[in-house]
Amino acid sequence: MNRRNFFTGAAVAAASVSSVAMAALPEPVSQASADTAPPLAPPNGRPYHPVVTLNGWTTPWRMNQGVKEFHLVAEPVVREVAPGFFVNMWGYNGQSPGPTIEVVEGDRVRIFVTNRLPENTTIHWHGQRLPNGMDGVGGLNQPHIPPGKTYVYEFEAHRPGTFMYHPHSDEMVQMAMGMMGLWITHPKGRHPLIAEVQRDYAFLLSAYDVEPGAMTPRVNEMTDFNIWTFNSRAFPAITPLVARQNDRVRIRVGNLTMTNHPIHLHGHEFEVTGTDGGPVPKSARWPEVTTDVAVGQMRQVEFTADALGDWAFHCHKSHHTMGAMGHDVPTMIGVDHRGLVGKIQKIVPDYMLMGERGMGDMGTMQMPLPDNTFPMMSGTGPFGPIEMGGMFTTLKVRQGLGANDYADPGWFAQPKGTVAYEWKGAPLASTAPRQTAPGQAPGAASARKPGTDHEYH
């Protein structure tokens, strides 16, 4: 399906929303840039310390007689998931994920949801305490919202915490197409379990199955996704998280993929201070460097960014820090192909051998890929290829940053004498203690006698 066809259905739906009907609604603000937008200082209403949505933004609202009014437009969008790699998605207000909604505990909130998709939708407000008829499960709590129609959700934001929103109408397809967003309810005052922080980051985990050369996700995929993202962006397109040294930092992570993600931070220990159920009692917190975020969960972690440097921050499932890859590639480590590649290339000029020495070479390989294909490994650091692509970014801790400075400070200047270095002294091979000769299993020579194979048959 090309891009023109993809949009046809939506264009019809949009045209059927009359401008008169739209005039009474809050202006649906869209964001064109995929950059991380600076925190949105509350223009009115009660004060709070805003979050920073990684490669996203917070939507403005309209105050209407004490009610905060938001307008979400469900519509097709195009997301640049990685440099030069564009994916047809469905989202809200021009982007996937949709804009973050930030409110204060006790706020009365009214959300207009306009459907510019070619099919029904709804929005479920994941984790919120609200009247049953506002919970957004199509068919159960409300009629589905047909294309071209606008529905209104209205409730009070009762609990402070980290929440998310997503459709509950053709849910599998619509989430596989990128329909989701964050909802942050800030505490109305000092809260015994919610600390004040200097940096408050938020993002959602989402995954897509985009075949090499394609531009639209395969929406019927259940488990075998190949594009792993923070806020629908894959490394190296994910903005670094920037912190001033000794800032208290909170990171809120929600998982709307179909598998769990152990989220891992280098160089620091954090505590899980909240879930989608609310703040975690202090007696139930413990230090960690990895926390698993299961499907449909939110985790909120906090730490003091006291260690200067560029620290990796990523999902610990190693295939989730990779771009699109053929999963059927055989493991070739240890197979000697000398002489074979040249012969094959006479028949298949683009043939490349993969994995004979591991897959690290993929980071520099100039393999011809179909157009609009995200390479398996990419990104270059100060010391060479980073060999990542997917759920990976960095926490950059620096001295003396401005309180509102979220700009990428560039690569860390390592102090002299603090970088791993090549040994140039006498050869050390003979001094490394080992149990056996290289390539031999411990005890292999005696454990396996000739002729004993049959015992197992």
List of residues contacting Cu ion (CB under 5 A)? 261, 315, 317, 320
Count CB neighbours of 147 within 10 A. 20
* Nearest distance, CB of residue 391 and Cu ion, angstroms: 5
Residue 258 or 353: which CB sits closer to Cu ion? 258
Residue 215 or 265: which CB sits closer to Cu ion? 265
* Nearest distance, CB of residue 320 and Cu ion, angstroms: 3
* Nearest distance, CB of residue 225 and Cu ion, angstroms: 10
* Nearest distance, CB of residue 118 and Cu ion, angstroms: 31
CB 398 within 8 A of CB 409: yes
Nearest CA to 12 among 153, 171, 146? 146
* Nearest distance, CB of residue 314 and Cu ion, angstroms: 8
Nearest CA to 326 among 208, 211, 176? 211
Residue 14 or 253: which CB sits closer to Cu ion? 253
User: Which pair of tokens denotes residue 196?
Assistant: 């004040």
Residue 53 or 206: which CB sits closer to Cu ion? 206
- Please, which contacts does 304-307 make with residues 24 or more away whose CB atoms are closer than 8 Å? 304/246, 304/247, 304/248, 304/249, 304/268, 305/199, 305/243, 305/244, 305/245, 305/246, 305/247, 305/248, 305/249, 305/268, 305/395, 305/397, 306/245, 306/246, 306/268, 306/397, 307/267, 307/268, 307/397
Residue 188 or 316: which CB sits closer to Cu ion? 316
Query: Helix, strand, coil: what percent of the chain each, to 5?
Result: 15, 35, 55
Phi, psi angles (nearest 5°) of residue 174: -70, -30
* Nearest distance, CB of residue 322 and Cu ion, angstroms: 10
Residue 71 or 261: which CB sits closer to Cu ion? 261
**Which residues are bridge partners to 207 per DSSP?**
228
Residue 108 or 317: which CB sits closer to Cu ion? 317
SS3 call for 250: strand
Residue 261 or 268: which CB sits closer to Cu ion? 261
Pairing outcome for strands 241-244 and 392-398: parallel
Report the distance separating Cα 292 and Cα 270, nearest Å.
Answer: 13
* Nearest distance, CB of residue 181 and Cu ion, angstroms: 20
* Nearest distance, CB of residue 260 and Cu ion, angstroms: 7
Report the distance separating Cα 392 and Cα 229, nearest Å.
Answer: 8
Residue 162 or 321: which CB sits closer to Cu ion? 321
Report the distance separating Cα 453 and Cα 457, nearest Å.
Answer: 8
* Nearest distance, CB of residue 417 and Cu ion, angstroms: 35
Residue 104 or 175: which CB sits closer to Cu ion? 175
* Nearest distance, CB of residue 453 and Cu ion, angstroms: 40
User: Which pair of tokens denotes residue 279?
Assistant: 């703040």
DSSP H or E stretch at residue 171: helix 171-176
* Nearest distance, CB of residue 86 and Cu ion, angstroms: 23
Count CB neighbours of 167 within 10 A. 28
Residue 186 or 320: which CB sits closer to Cu ion? 320
CA-to-CA dists, residue 329 to 207, 245, 356, 365, angstroms: 21, 44, 12, 16
Distance of CA 202 to the CA centre of its chain: 10
Name the maximum alpha-carbon separation found in the chain.
88
User: Which pair of tokens denotes residue 144?
Assistant: 């589905």
Sign, CA torsion 113/117/121/125: negative
Residue 250 or 261: which CB sits closer to Cu ion? 261
* Nearest distance, CB of residue 258 and Cu ion, angstroms: 11
